[in-house]
A and B are shown apart, each in its own frame.
Chain A
C-alpha cells in the first residue's frame, strides 16, 4: 500500500531524514520506535504532506500513486490520516460541526453529495460510543480546553469517522494515562481491517502492549537501522537504544 524509497528530507535547511526505506502492506501494523530527535515525527509529517518539510531525494507512493505530487488535503482524500501529537485548537467550531466540515470536504473531493444530517449524526453517535466519548464533548469547541487525553481520543474519533486506508499515529500515547491508553488502543484495534494499515510512532513499548505490531522498526539519526517482529519492542524496552547504536557504529 505505502512504499517509501530512499527518502531524504530537510527542515529549515537541516537534514532530518537520511534515506528511509519502508514498505507497508494492507492489513499490517507497523511501529517505528526511536529516541527523541531521530526523525520519527518528521517522517509522519512528510507522509501527510507538510509543506515546510522539503523532500530532497527519494519517493513515497501509495497504491502506486506518487504522494509527493499531492497537497495535504489530496492525500487525505486518498486515505492518509495523521493523528497529531499536538492537535490544534479551533475555538468557536464544535467537534460535531468540524466533523461535518471534514466529512463533507472528503465527500466533495470524491464527487459525492453532502452526507445527510441524520446519517452523519448516526455515524457520530456510533463512533463516539466506540471511544467512550461523552455526548457533551461533541458540542465543545474543537480541542479548546481539552485535556491531553481528550485531545488524543478526539484524534482517534476523527480517524474512526474518516476510516482511512493508512493511519499514522504520531506519539498517540504521550500524555495518556493507562485507562485512556486502553480506550484509544481499543478504538484503533476495532478499526483494523484487512484493507487498511496502521503506522504507530512511539517512544515507548507500552502502547505496543495494546496495539500489537506486525513489524517494529528502529529509527536512529534519520534512518531505519533495524527491523524485526514485536519482540524487538520488548528488547528495546529492556535494553534501551545504546546497544543498537553500538551495533550500527560497529558496521
Chain B
C-alpha cells in the first residue's frame, strides 16, 4: 500500500484514539481531506524542484508508536544543553516523557499541546492561534490531521521567560519505521521575550521521518529567538515547517544549524503584519556523504518600514546536495522595506552540489532589497597563508571553514548554545585546531 493510502486509513483509527473538542475534530477532518486532494509534493512543483521525497516515502512508516517510555536520562544527556537552567519539553517517539521534562505553568506556560488542546482553560488560545498561520499546503495539512502532541508555549504580555525552553524529540527505533508529526504552538504576547532551542534526535538506525509544524505568533514588540539543531542520524529525515506571524515592532530570529540527517527540508515562512518589524533568518549547513539539506524560505512584507535579514552559509562535502530557495515578497503598501538576503556556499568536492535560487517579488517602489549568492571553493591564497605558518592542509581547511561560517554564529544569544554549535562544527570537520572553538 502506498504511504498516502496507509495514512488516510490510519487517520480513522487515530481519530478514535484521541480525545478532542469538536472544533479540533473538524480542523483535523478538513486537513486530511486537503492532504488527500493534494498528496505529497513532487518535483513537478516549483518549490520542490531540487528535493525529491520519493526515497524517503518508500518506507512503511507507522504513525502508532508503542506506548513505552524506555529512555534513561544518561543515554540522552549529551543532547541536552544542561550547562544552563532551562525548561524542557521532551518527547519520545512523539509521546510526552514526563520524567525527562521540566515544564511550567508559573508566569508562562511551557507544556504540552495535548493537554492544551483538551483543556477549557487553554481553549481561547487554541481557538485564536492553532492552525491560523500554517498555509495549509499538503505537508502541514498532513501534520494538522494527525496533530495531538507537541510543545505548547504561551508567554503572556509584558513577560520575559526566565529561562530558555528546550524542545527535544527523540525516536527510539522501537518501530521498524516511524512517522512522527510534532505540532508546536508558540504564542508570545506584547512586550514579551522567549528563547527556544529545538532538536530532533533518532537513537537508532531505523528510518524515521519527522514532519513537524511549528506556529509562532509574536505580538507587538515581542522578541522571539528560535534555534534549531539538526544533527540527526543518517537514517533520519526531517521536514520542518515553521510559520511565524509578527506584529508591529516585534523582532523574531530563527537560526537553523543543519549538520546531520538523511534528507532535511526546512520550510520557513515569516509573515509580517505590522510596521517596524525585524525578521532574521540565519543558517549554517555542514554536510557530507549523500546528505541533502534544503532551505526554503519566505519573508512576506506587507506593511511599511520593516526589515528582513537572511544569511545562509553552507559547506558541502563528498556528494552531498544543498538547496537554498529564498523568496521575498514586498507588497505595494510596504514602502521603505529593507530586505537583505545572502547565501554563500563552499563545495569541497566535485560531486557536491548546491542549487541556490533567490526569488524577489517587489511591488513597492521605495524599498532597499538585495540578494547575493556565491558558490566557490576555499580560497587558495588563504590556505597558502595558513600553511606558510606551519598549519597542515587539513587543519588549515578546517580553520577556513570555521571562519566562513562564523558570522552566522555571532548572533546566537545563548553563549552555551554557541559553544555547543562550535563543538559540533569542529567535530564535523574532524579536526582539532589547537584551541577550543
Q: Do A and B form a real pair?
A: yes
The 8 A CB mask of A113-129 against B (1 = contact, 0 = none) is 01000000000000000
**In contact, A77 and B388 (Cβ under 8 angstroms):** no
Task: Choose among A52, A80, A81 the residue that contacts B380 (Cβ–Cβ < 8 A).
Answer: A52
CA distance A104 to B381 in the complex (A): 22
**In contact, A73 and B392 (Cβ under 8 angstroms):** yes
Q: Does A61 contact B (CB under 8 A)?
A: no
Q: Does B98 contact A (CB under 8 A)?
A: no
Residue of A nearest to B382 (CB): A88
Q: Does B10 contact A (CB under 8 A)?
A: no
**In contact, A73 and B387 (Cβ under 8 angstroms):** yes
Q: Does A162 contact B (CB under 8 A)?
A: yes
Task: Choose among A76, A86, A91, A92 the residue that contacts B390 (Cβ–Cβ < 8 A).
Answer: A76
Q: Does A97 contact B (CB under 8 A)?
A: yes
Kindly provide the distance from the CB of A129 to the nearest chain B CB, expressed in whole angstroms.
21
Task: Choose among B379, B392, B407 the residue that contacts A92 (Cβ–Cβ < 8 A).
Answer: B407
CA distance A109 to B430 in the complex (A): 19
**In contact, A105 and B384 (Cβ under 8 angstroms):** no
- Provide the residues of chain B in CB contact with A52, threshold 8 Å: 380
CA distance A49 to B391 in the complex (A): 13
CA distance A101 to B403 in the complex (A): 14
- Provide the residues of chain B in CB contact with A166, threshold 8 Å: none
**In contact, B389 and A92 (Cβ under 8 angstroms):** no
Q: Does A87 contact B (CB under 8 A)?
A: yes
- Provide the residues of chain B in CB contact with A73, threshold 8 Å: 387-388, 390-393, 396
The 8 A CB mask of A27-65 against B (1 = contact, 0 = none) is 000000000000000000100111110000000000000
Kindly provide the distance from the CB of A211 to the nearest chain B CB, expressed in whole angstroms.
21
Task: Choose among A51, A102, A114 the residue that contacts B391 (Cβ–Cβ < 8 A).
Answer: A102
Q: Does A184 contact B (CB under 8 A)?
A: no
CA distance A93 to B390 in the complex (A): 16
**In contact, B389 and A162 (Cβ under 8 angstroms):** yes
Q: Does B19 contact A (CB under 8 A)?
A: no
Residue of A nearest to B395 (CB): A105
Kindly provide the distance from the CB of B90 to the nearest chain A CB, expressed in whole angstroms.
32
Q: Does B79 contact A (CB under 8 A)?
A: no
**In contact, B402 and A93 (Cβ under 8 angstroms):** yes
- Provide the residues of chain B in CB contact with A86, threshold 8 Å: 381
Q: Does B117 contact A (CB under 8 A)?
A: no
**Most chain A C-beta atoms within 10 Å of own C-beta, residue among B379, B389, B392, B410:** B389
- Provide the residues of chain B in CB contact with A71, threshold 8 Å: 387, 393
CA distance A52 to B381 in the complex (A): 10
CA distance A47 to B389 in the complex (A): 13
Q: Does A72 contact B (CB under 8 A)?
A: yes
CA distance A251 to B336 in the complex (A): 70
Q: Which residues, 325 to 384 on B, are CB-close (under 8 Å) to A? A: 379-382, 384
Task: Choose among A76, A100, A101, A114 the residue that contacts B388 (Cβ–Cβ < 8 A).
Answer: A76
- Provide the residues of chain A in CB contact with B384, threshold 8 Å: 45, 48-51, 72
CA distance A158 to B381 in the complex (A): 18
Residue of A nearest to B410 (CB): A92
**In contact, B393 and A90 (Cβ under 8 angstroms):** no
Kindly provide the distance from the CB of A212 to the nearest chain B CB, expressed in whole angstroms.
26
- Provide the residues of chain A in CB contact with B410, threshold 8 Å: 92
- Provide the residues of chain A in CB contact with B382, threshold 8 Å: 88, 90
**In contact, A109 and B380 (Cβ under 8 angstroms):** no
Interface residues of A (CB under 8 A from B): 45, 48-52, 71-73, 75-77, 80-82, 84, 86-88, 90-93, 97, 100-102, 104-106, 109, 114, 158, 162
What are 13 A-B residue pairs whose CB atoms fall within 8 Å in the complex? A45-B384, A49-B384, A51-B384, A71-B393, A72-B384, A72-B388, A76-B388, A76-B390, A86-B381, A97-B435, A100-B435, A105-B392, A162-B389
Interface residues of B (CB under 8 A from A): 379-382, 384-393, 395-396, 399-400, 402-403, 406-407, 409-410, 433-435
